[in-house]
Structure 1
Amino acid sequence: MKLQAVRNTPKILPEQAAEQIADRIVAGSFAAGQQLPNEFDLAEQLGVGRGTVREAVKILVSRNILEIRRGCGTFVCSHPGRVEDPLGFSFVRDKKKLALDLCEVRMMLEPEIAALAAARATDQEIESLRKAAEEVEQELLAGRDHGGKDMELHRLLAVCSRNQVVEQLIPMIQRTISIFITLTDAQLVEETIRTHRRLIEAVKNRDADGARDAMREHLENNRQRIRIMPDHAENQERQEKR
């Protein structure tokens, strides 16, 4: 499908061109991971110069919609528009305060996500959840870093909710998981295994209330553990004395 030619509007030409390309990605003309036409062809389709196309591509690269692979061309990002740390959590110094604040947000969201998953997940998805929980458990019992496996479990749970907004919140949820694991030093082994098992069993039984309660307990365990940890100022003072 050809792009519409850019027309005179209050927006500058590169912004118009970028908008046209982004619209085609949303419409499915360019899929995630697909290579775009070359610069010359895009310029012809848009009715603009190649310099305008270059600037439009730069705009979309800055928004994590396109990526340039040297020697290969320009491609649609695997998750267009999504950034790893959308809220800038990695730049917050007081990780304890951040983790507690994020826990409040997770308490608002994840119990309901779990309840939706119990109501909407397919049998195949429930089996995937069970396997993901088992993998987390294996990593915990072996004393290995379970962060990646835990993130995958929460990602699958969000997918099972059948809510596209929830799925877009996954990056934020995953960022909080890594912060929680760092702060708690993976000390909540028994509690994590128990609440995960309870959660998966509730989803399997289509028990929305049970899934909601299991997730609340899981998050509350994390919150209580974080609360008793030294705060940022105390940690900094200890490091300075060493």
Structure 2
Amino acid sequence: MDSKNPAKTVHQSVARQIAELIESGNLKKGDKLPAERTLAERFKVSRSSIREAIKSLAQKNLVESRRGDGTYILADMDADIFDAFATAFSDQKKRISDIFQFRRVIEPEIAALAAASMDEETLNRLKVIVCDQQMKAQNGKNTSDLDAQLHLEIAKATGNSIFPEMMQALDRIMDESRSEILQPPKRQQASIIAHFKILEAFENRDPAQARETMRKHIAEVEEAATGRSSSE
């Protein structure tokens, strides 16, 4: 991340993700991009960041903004343009991979400690979060906020004040692995199923089960997000 210019980093990240959707075919030539407000909500950024991202893509002839109509994917794409983006995509994927590596190291142990000290009140609170997540997903809404809340509550359940502080401090970085672009409905449903399995481990007060279930959950999420196994 460019800590000296976070605004620049935000719009560049959005531009990369939109361009990658075009390259992968999820956004096709001639398609109209959603409205600024919709994109801002989807990427969880300001509308000004969306405008800057679109401006950046327009400069590279990937999109065209038509006054009073909207922004369209250009019909004629220059393959060389995508080659120019390749390094940026690679950097972004490496960063996502680094985030998941961090999660694989830290979160299974947090889950094990939480299982060992879990009380009924905390367990019931976690169940409410996962049930809310399931209902929200069934209504076609993004559940990344509840996902983040669940993992934070698990960190709190360890009884160690450092873990939730660490999770909160890293929240913005962790959000990159929970962005809507990386949260298709299938992945959200798979995450919810995994969360119920984690709750089962907590209910059993079984640290080993909690550790292994969380480890598998993070690995499955990484594979869904990056298209490759964490063991590769």
Letter in 2 for 1:191: A
Q: 2:99–2:177: 8 Å Cα contact kept in structure 1?
A: no
Gaps of 5+ in 1: 1-84, 230-242
Inter-CA distance 189–215: structure 2 relative to 1 (3 Å threshold) = same
Taking the aligned partners of 2:138 and 2:205, their CA distance within structure 1 comes to 28
2:156 aligned with 1:159: yes
Q: Which residue of 2 aligns with 1:91?
A: 9
Taking the aligned partners of 1:178 and 1:139, their CA distance within structure 2 comes to 18
2:103 aligned with 1:185: no
Inter-CA distance 199–176: structure 2 relative to 1 (3 Å threshold) = farther
Q: Which residue of 1 aligns with 2:222?
A: 223
- Report the 3-state secondary structure (helix = DSSP H, G, I; strand = E; otherwise coil) of the residue aligned with 1:162: coil
Q: CA deviation at 1:193?
A: 1.7
Q: CA deviation at 1:185?
A: 2.9
2:118 aligned with 1:117: no
Letter in 2 for 1:121: M
CA offset digits 1:95-143 (Å, max 9, x no partner)? 3221110100111100000001100121101110111111111112221
Q: 2:137–2:188: 8 Å Cα contact kept in structure 1?
A: yes
Q: Which residue of 1 aligns with 2:31?
A: none
Inter-CA distance 172–218: structure 2 relative to 1 (3 Å threshold) = farther
Letter in 2 for 1:200: L
Taking the aligned partners of 2:104 and 2:111, their CA distance within structure 1 comes to 11
Q: CA deviation at 1:227?
A: 2.4
Inter-CA distance 97–147: structure 2 relative to 1 (3 Å threshold) = same
RMSD across aligned positions (CA)? 2.4
1:105 aligned to which of 92, 96, 102: 102
- Report the 3-state secondary structure (helix = DSSP H, G, I; strand = E; otherwise coil) of the residue aligned with 2:130: helix
Q: 1:99–1:180: 8 Å Cα contact kept in structure 2?
A: yes
Q: Determine which structure has more spread, i.e. the larger CA radius of gyration.
A: 1
- Report the 3-state secondary structure (helix = DSSP H, G, I; strand = E; otherwise coil) of the residue aligned with 1:163: coil
Taking the aligned partners of 1:192 and 1:134, their CA distance within structure 2 comes to 12
Letter in 1 for 2:149: E
Taking the aligned partners of 2:115 and 2:155, their CA distance within structure 1 comes to 11
Taking the aligned partners of 2:189 and 2:134, their CA distance within structure 1 comes to 9
Q: Which residue of 1 aligns with 2:203?
A: 204
Q: CA deviation at 1:175?
A: 2.8
2:143 aligned to which of 141, 146, 152: 146
Higher deviation after alignment, 177-186 or 203-212? 177-186
Letter in 2 for 1:184: L
The percentage of aligned residue pairs carrying the same residue is: 25
Q: 1:95–1:179: 8 Å Cα contact kept in structure 2?
A: no
- Report the 3-state secondary structure (helix = DSSP H, G, I; strand = E; otherwise coil) of the residue aligned with 1:144: coil
Letter in 2 for 1:209: A
Q: CA deviation at 1:166?
A: 0.6
Number of residue pairs matched?
Answer: 143
